[in-house]
Amino acid sequence: MSDAELVQRLLESVGIKPSHVLSDDVARLEVHQNHVVGAHLLPGLEVDTTERDDGIEAHLRLLPGARFERPIHLCFGMLPEKGLQHIVLEIDVEEDASAQVLAHCTFPNAVEVKHRMDARIRIAPGANYSYYERHVHGPGGGVEVIPHATVELGEGARFKTEFDLIKGRVGEMDIAYDAVGQAHSVLEMLARVSGSGTDKIRIHEKARLAGEAARAVLTTTIALRDDARAEVFNTIIADAPRARGHVDCKEIVQGRAVAKAVPIVEVNDPTAHVTHEAAIGSVDSKQLQTLLSRGLTEDEAVDLIIEGMLS
Amino acid sequence: MTLLEVRDLAIQLDDKQVLGGVSADFKQGRVYAIVGPNGAGKSTLANVIMGLPGYTNFQGDILYRGESLKGLAVDERARKGVTLAWQEPARFEGLSVHKFVTAGAKTTNGRDLAAAALRQVGLEPARYLNRAVDKTLSGGERKRIELASILAIEPALVLMDEPDSGIDVEALDQMFEAIHRLKEKGSTVILITHSRTVLRQAEHAYLLCDGRVIDEGPVNRIGQYFENRCALCDHTNEPGPQEAL
CA–CA dist B78, B155 (Å, integer): 8
Q: Which chain A residue lies closest to B91 (C-alpha atoms)? A: A287
ipTM attached to this prediction = 0.93
How far, in Å, CA of A102 to CA of A86, rounded? 19
For B31-54, letters b (16+ CB in 10 Å) and e give: bbbbbbbeebbbbbbbbbbbbbee
Partner-chain contact A287 B99, CB within 8 Å: no
Task: Considering only the beta carbons, identify the residue of B86, B95, B146 that sits closest to A308.
Answer: B95
CB A152 within 8 A of CB A178: no
Chain A positions with Cβ closer than 8 Å to B: 284-287, 289-298, 301, 304-305, 307-311
Of A117, A138, A128, the residue nearest A160 (C-alpha)? A128
Beta strands in A182-286 (DSSP E): 186-195, 200-209, 215-224, 229-238, 244-253, 258-267, 273-281
pLDDT tens per residue, range B17-43? 999 999 999 999 999 999 998 889 999
Hey, are the CB atoms on B75 and A293 less than 8 Å from each other?
A: yes
Kindly list the domain boundaries of chain A, sorted by start residue: 3-283
Whole-number pLDDT of residue B234: 55
Is B92 in Cβ contact with A286 (below 8 Å)?
A: no
User: CB neighbours (10 Å) of residue B220?
Assistant: 12
pLDDT value of position B231: 67
Could you tell me what percent of chain A has a pLDDT over 90?
79
> What is the distance of C-alpha B123 from the center of its chain?
21
Please, are residues B206 and B24 in contact by the beta-carbon 8 Å criterion? Answer: yes
Partner-chain contact B83 A290, CB within 8 Å: no
Mark residue B109 as left, alpha or beta (left: phi above 0; alpha: psi -120 to 50; beta: remaining): beta
The confidence score (pLDDT) of residue B245 equals 40
Judging contacts by C-beta atoms under 8 Å, the chain A residues touching residue B74 are 289, 292-293
Which chain A residues are closer than 8 Å to B86 by Cβ? Answer: 286, 290
Q: How far is B236 from chain A (nearest CA, A)?
A: 29
Write the CB contacts of B2 (distance below 8 Å, at least 6 apart in sequence): B25, B26, B27, B28
Cβ pair A290:B90 closer than 8 A: yes
Q: Looking at residue B106, what is its pLDDT?
A: 79
pLDDT in tens, A240-252: 999 999 999 999 9
CA angle B171, B185, B4 (to 5 degrees): 100
Residue A309: closest CA among B53, B99, B230: B99
Q: Quick check: B241 pLDDT over 50?
A: no
pLDDT (0 to 100) of residue B242: 44
Q: A181: which strand partners?
A: A153, A209
pTM over 0.95: no
Q: Residue A118: pLDDT band by 50, 70, 90 thresholds? A: very high
Question: CA B225 to CA B213: how far, in whole Å?
Answer: 13
Using 50, 70 and 90 to split pLDDT, how confident is the model at B232?
Answer: low
Torsion over CA: B20, B38, B34, B219 (sign) = positive
| Mean pLDDT for all residues in chain B | 91
**Would the pLDDT of A14 be above 70?**
yes
Please determine, for residue B243, whether its predicted confidence score (pLDDT) is greater than 60.
no
pLDDT per position as a tens digit, B36-82: 988 899 999 999 999 999 999 999 999 999 999 999 999 999 999 99
What is the rounded distance in angstroms from the CA atom of residue B52 to the CA atom of residue B75?
10
Residue A54 to chain B, least CA–CA distance (Å): 39
Cβ of A292 within 8 Å of Cβ of B149? The answer is no
pLDDT number for residue B170: 79
Q: Worst-scoring range by mean pLDDT, A135-144, A284-293, B129-138, B188-197?
A: A135-144
Top pLDDT among A204 and A140 is at A204
Q: Is the pLDDT of residue B244 over 80?
A: no
- pLDDT tens, position by position, A293-308: 999 999 899 989 998 9
Q: Is pLDDT at A6 greater than 60 in this prediction?
A: yes
* C-beta of residue A159 within 8 angstroms of C-beta of residue A153: yes
Mean pLDDT of B134-154: 93
Give the C-alpha separation, A119 to A151, whole Å. Answer: 8
Instruction: Find the closest chain B residue to A300 by CA distance.
Output: B103
**With contacts defined as CB-CB under 8 Å, which chain B residues touch A291?**
103-104
- The minimal CB distance from B75 to the residues A287, A297, A307 is found for A297
**What does the pLDDT look like over A23-70, one tens digit per residue?**
889 999 999 999 999 999 999 999 999 999 999 999 999 999 999 989
